[in-house]
């Protein structure tokens, strides 16, 4: 997939020593906007644990122009993304992952086995509830240390992926 930096990325090029966090996000979703600062901070913490991260935008940009590639570039700069932000124009990647919303998180161990499919943290009226580290950071810290994710996982909430009308 093509990144906002103009480079193309494959799964192998993205994997970290201790795992990979795949995040389906977009520019316009109020849920993504509510958690974006936490997300950027968590990704930086995960990098120090040997877990790399990637953001993928799979929405229909024709009907949702706020999610255009040009706007992805602006959104990533505005929020100081330290991770590749990729466009999934055909939505084939979102379909392979069975991604359903933005944000949707898939945390993999070093063998690329899915260990976490949960939220970043609790939201109340689109405001992050700050009580300790995020669910996502705690889960991925566990994955980095043990190769396994937590037993209890709370699903992510967000806007549905805007599918193409093919």
Nearest C-alpha neighbor of 13 from the set 47, 54, 50, 46: 54
Does position 63 have pLDDT exceeding 80, yes or no? yes
pTM over 0.85: yes
pLDDT tens track for 7-29: 999 999 999 999 999 999 999 99
| pLDDT for the residue numbered 127 | 86
- Determine what percent of the chain is predicted with pLDDT higher than 70: 99
Judged by DSSP in three states, 34 sits in: helix
- Rounded average pLDDT over 82-107: 97
| pLDDT for the residue numbered 166 | 62
- Rounded average pLDDT over 42-71: 97
């Amino acid at each position: 997939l093509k990144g906002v930096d103009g480079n193309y990325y494959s799964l192998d090029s993205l994997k970290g020593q201790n795992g990979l966090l795949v995040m389906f996000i977009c520019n316009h979703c109020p849920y993504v906007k509510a958690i974006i600062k936490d997300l950027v901070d968590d990704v930086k913490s995960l990098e120090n644990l040997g877990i790399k991260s990637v953001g993928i935008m799979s929405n229909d940009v024709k009907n949702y122009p706020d999610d255009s590639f040009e706007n992805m570039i602006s959104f990533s700069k505005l929020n100081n993304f330290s991770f590749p932000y990729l466009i999934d124009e055909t939505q084939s990647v979102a379909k392979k992952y069975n991604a359903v919303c933005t944000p949707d998180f898939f945390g993999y161990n070093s063998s690329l086995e899915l260990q976490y499919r949960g939220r970043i943290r609790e939201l109340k009226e689109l405001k992050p509830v700050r009580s300790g580290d995020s669910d996502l950071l705690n889960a991925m810290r566990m994955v980095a240390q043990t190769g396994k994710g937590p037993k209890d996982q709370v699903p992510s909430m967000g806007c549905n992926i805007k599918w193409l009308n093919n």
